[in-house]
Amino acid sequence: MNISIGNDHAGVDLKEAIISHLGQKGHELHNHGTNNEDSVDYADFIHPVAQDVGKKKSDVGIIICGSGNGAAMTANKHQNIRAALCWSAEISKLSRQHNDANILSIPARFVNLEQALEMVDLFISTPFEGGRHQKRIEKIPCK
């Protein structure tokens, strides 16, 4: 799977661990995040992920900031992006099954590494159920 990842200064450690974890599984990764803990503006590192996913250069995206909120809000400004802020494995799985989320937003300050990796694994392996959820997805974009 082709995956884009972006983070701000709060997500450096999680990003590095996720890249290592997914790389060992053979996924192709595009790192748009910062690589140090110097304060940065999250939007500068999230927009490229959303652009990759929106233009289908990547299958899915993973974005990380302190609360996950700013990253998700930024990504969701892009057409055809459904970034889901997740803080548990169950929410990550449901975001794919019911919402066809294509970007996982992780709150670095509120989850540990084990939780983050479980969310990532479920996010990339869970298919969208379609059916009754499809019509709901079609109502998300503003016209």
Map out the domains of the chain with their CATH numbers.
2-138 (3.40.1400.10)
pLDDT tens-place string over residues 30-74: 999 999 999 999 999 999 999 999 999 999 999 999 999 999 999
Q: How confident is the model at residue 86 (pLDDT cuts 50, 70, 90)?
A: very high
Separation of alpha carbons 64 and 24, rounded Å: 20
Q: Which residue has the tokens 């869970």?
A: 126
Q: Check 21, 27, 30, 98 and give the catalytic one.
A: 98
Active site residue 9: no
d(CA 128, CA 118): 18
- pTM of the complete model: 0.97
- The mean pLDDT of 69-82, rounded to a whole number, is 97
d(CA 124, CA 7): 18
99-126 confidence digits (pLDDT tens)? 999 999 999 999 999 999 999 999 999 9
What pLDDT is recorded for position 142? 85
